[in-house]
Structure 1
Amino acid sequence: MLPHVTGLRMEGRTTSSSSSSSSPGAMSAGKHAWEFFVDKMKSKDAADIKSKIKSLLTSLYDSSIVDDVAARMIRTFLESRSAIDPDHCLWKGVDDDALRQAREGLEKFIMIKMYPKLFQSTPSARKRDAALFDRMTRLSWVCHTHLDIPEQYAACAGLQAARHELQNMNSFKPPRDKMVCILNCMQIINNAIASCQSRPLGAPPSADDFLPLLILVILQARPWYPFLNMQYISTFSHPDEMVGANGYMFTHFSSALTFIENMTASALHNCNQEEFDRRINGEYEDDDDIQYRFVDAVADDLRLSDIPDLLREYKAMAKVLRGCHRRPGEASPAISRATSNMDTFW
């Protein structure tokens, strides 16, 4: 049974819980931690706090500071009273929930400012991410049957949202927000399985149901820099956010990436080594081998990384049209397949 994911919010995407306090410093309903912190920093009483934050940022930009040291410096600063001191006039009358929100806003501010320095890939990490992306592209023919995923799971419309979560991970800079992209993806998959009508009533999704579908979603999404993102999240997230359900889900995500990285014919259903080698090298015996991903896509869904698949689908269509011209009085096998399912192409 998979645990329920709780404990994280993404600023600007999920509404933070509002404070029930009526004190002057309490947050208004639905106001985000980021907005609350920024509003407070506009006060003239925040001058000394901004000076301390600037001093920290200057220290962090020292080129000799490695990630682990930077993570400790940031965590020490956030957990101290350097910036969020309840006795400071800026925070007078602010309740505990609002102080927690302010710390979240401060953390977001620091990580956004330091992102260009802290989100950097080593040569080995770049090589690993590049190799994984190339492998995911070569494995784009893998479908639900290869992973023994029931048709009703793979056909769930909500999985497009799960793919978008992974594709959007690099749009966010704080590790908390990147982690939420992963957790949101997994929660969508979890909900899709749980809501499937073929499941026994009330039966919770199991890891055996969940992991194959997660692998398929990752293959279809092909996110950029997954290993670098995981390294960044694990290094700069608060330790409390990497335990329990969140840590469990993070481990599942890591396992799915490793599975894809090392995927062989023996890991797939109904796929022998010869067929696996042929397909992973882009050699298709039949147009039916090609998985058409873009039938229902719109322009906003497309990325530069989709170009290889779009080109492959275009070539498949061109092959069909060439067959039509070569045998004007006779429909080729490819044409027969195409006309039996015209929405594949149009």
Structure 2
Amino acid sequence: MSNQNTNDMEIDGINPSQVDSDYMIALLAQQQELEMSGNQMMNANDIANFKKSFREYQEKNKNISSNGAEGNSGCENDEEIARLMQENYIREQEMYNMLGCNGQSGYPASNQNNNPNKISENLKDYHTSELQKQYHERYVKEKLSHEYFRNKLNSNEAIPIKKQLRDFYIDFEQKTKSVFTSPQEQSQYLREFLNNLSRTIIENPLWANSEREEQENAIIEMEKLITKKLFDITFGPSEDLARDTLLSHKILMHSWVEPRHLDLPDFDFHIFEKAGNELSKMNLYRFYIDKIICIVNCIKLIEYAYRKNISEEALANDKLLSLLIFVILKTNPKKLISNVQYIVRYVNPNYFSIGIYEFSLTSIWGAITYIEKISQTSLTITSEEYDAL
């Protein structure tokens, strides 16, 4: 890790010589594009303005912690800057069209009556803003990465948080063995700890001055770390596994169900096979968000397959529920109730404000409840036909 003296000499983890190199490659790339447009070269004022804008943006993103935890954030190497500049070439062509260049592609040839060293002020402003936008997107992306979070967590300022975690792991395991009498008590205790830890994270010097997006990401990363650590003693309590066994038996007993029994048009089940596989994938993950995403993907794949193979009309919620029930009956995903109950018990409540997550959980739970109570009266089938099957 870089020492303090080194950090004082750096901008976002790159020393001044590297910044100069980045600046030069950006300047040369812009100069090359100007030559392609018919302009021979940038004049001294243009170069000075470009250099000033470039350095101002680099300085604005300077945010190095005293321990060097942010030593490698927010900077691109020469090749990356060159790539960004090349991507801007296409955007600038579009800008010229908007500025009234009669739809001509590429850069317009320079007017010989004008100073050949003068370039469009609009082009310079647009070019600078686009470059800064792409720097910012890269900068934010790196700050929201798992590696960036772990680097902060491994720094000295995070020692109190790590001690708090170790103490909680011991306490939680002991209470699971001798105190908690239900999964609800267990999940409530963990959720209260996570809520209190969220406030601790935001108040910690590592995140106190960070943008809200980074703070929220740090909270989710911490919850992921803790819930995965405790997964083996929180997932699949005996009552959930018992319900899973009964549900699986119900599904096997009704594996003969066809689309018409659920008032659906006739179709080949294999068009929904990928949707069913998403529900089985939940068993591959330990974090509640990863499990929710599997349910979301299942529903999206059902909607996609329906529009592509059955009807282009919008899929009504009641028909979507019937298709979800049918998919579950045909795929019989293992530990379905345990997975859904785990999500409901441990998910951060803020995620219920995300419409697609709430809708997906409501839909999957509705399908499970239907199958648990499935009978001849809940299907479009005569009692004689039902008994014969």
Shared topology, TM-score over 0.5?
Answer: yes
Query: Is 1:232 equivalent to 2:342 in the alignment?
Result: yes
Could you report, residue by residue, the CA deviation over 1:114-145 in whole angstroms, capped at 9, with x for unpaired residues?
A: 111111322x4332211111221222222223
8 Å contact kept, 2:144–2:214 = no
Taking the aligned partners of 1:225 and 1:46, their CA distance within structure 2 comes to: 37
Name the structure 2 match of 1:47.
159
Question: 2:382 aligned with 1:272, yes or no?
Answer: yes
**Percentage identity across aligned positions?**
27
Structure 1's 121 and 209: CA in aligned 2 closer, same or farther, altered over 3 A? same
What per-residue deviation string (whole Å, max 9, x for no partner) do you get for residues 190-219 of structure 1?
33334557334xxx3212321111111111
Kindly provide the CA deviation profile for residues 249-294 of structure 1, in whole angstroms up to 9, marking residues without a partner as x. 322211211222222233333x433332333xxxxxxxxxxxxxxx
Change (3 A) 1:156 1:80: same
Aligned pairs, how many?
Answer: 252
**3-state SS of the aligned residue for 1:90?**
coil
* Distance in 2 of aligned mates of 1:240 and 1:254: 19
* Distance verdict in 2 for CA 1:237–1:82, change over 3 Å: closer
State yes or no: 1:184 paired with 2:300. no
Deviation at 1:227, TM superposition (A): 1.9
Structure 1 gaps, min length 5:
1-20, 280-346
Aligned: 1:255 with 2:370: no
CA contact (8 A) 1:168 1:181 kept: yes
How much has 1:99 moved relative to structure 2? 1.4
1:173 aligns with 2:286: yes
CA displacement, residues 225-249 of structure 1 (integer Å, 9 cap, x when unaligned): 2222222221111223235543333
Matched, 1:136 2:254: no
Aligned residue in 2 for 1:242: 352
Which structure has more relative contact order (CA 8 Å, sep 6+)? It is: 1
Does the CA contact (< 8 Å) of 2:143 and 2:149 recur in 1?
Answer: no
Instruction: Name the amino acid aligned to 1:104.
Output: I
Cα distance in structure 1, aligned partners of 2:243 and 2:186: 24
* Contact 2:142-2:148 within 8 A present in 1 as well: no
Deviation at 1:40, TM superposition (A): 2.4
- Max Rg structure: 2
1:168 CA drift (Å): 1.0
Distance of aligned partners of 1:155 and 1:224 in 2 relative to their CA distance in 1, 3 Å threshold:
closer
| Cα 1:82/1:211, change in 2 over 3 Å | closer
Which SS does the other structure have where 1:149 is aligned? coil
Matched, 1:76 2:192: yes
Q: Does 1:118 align with 2:234?
A: yes
For 1:182, what is the secondary structure of its paired residue? helix
Alignment-derived partner of residue 29 in structure 1:
141
Distance of 1:245 and 1:156 partners within structure 2: 25
Distance in 1, Cα, partners of 2:358 & 2:277: 21
Contact 1:52 1:83 in 2 (8 A): no
Distance, in Å, in 2 between the alignment partners of 1:23 and 1:184 is 39
Q: 1:276 to 1:176 in 2, by over 3 A?
A: same
**1:225 and 1:275 mapped to 2: Cα distance?**
30
- Give the number of the structure whose residues are more often helix, by fraction: 2
Over 3 Å counting, the alpha-carbon distance change for 1:209 and 1:30 in structure 2 is: farther
Amino acid at match of 1:80: N
What is the SS of the residue equivalent to 2:189? Answer: helix
Cα distance, 1:160–1:39 mapped onto 2, change above 3 Å: farther
Q: Bigger shift: 24-33 or 100-109? A: 24-33
* Distance of 1:83 and 1:49 partners within structure 2: 11
Deviation at 1:28, TM superposition (A): 5.3
**RMSD of equivalent CA atoms:** 2.9
Question: Aligned-pair distance for 1:156?
Answer: 7.0
Structure 2 letter corresponding to 1:43: S
- 8 Å Cα contact 1:45-1:90 kept in structure 2: yes
Q: What secondary structure, in the 3-state scheme, does the structure 2 residue paired with 1:91 have? A: coil
Question: What is the distance in 2 between the residues matched to 1:222 and 1:250?
Answer: 18
CA contact (8 A) 1:37 1:105 kept: yes
Displacement of 1:73 in angstroms is 3.5
Q: State the 1:36 CA deviation.
A: 3.6
Name the SS for the 1:256 alignment partner.
helix
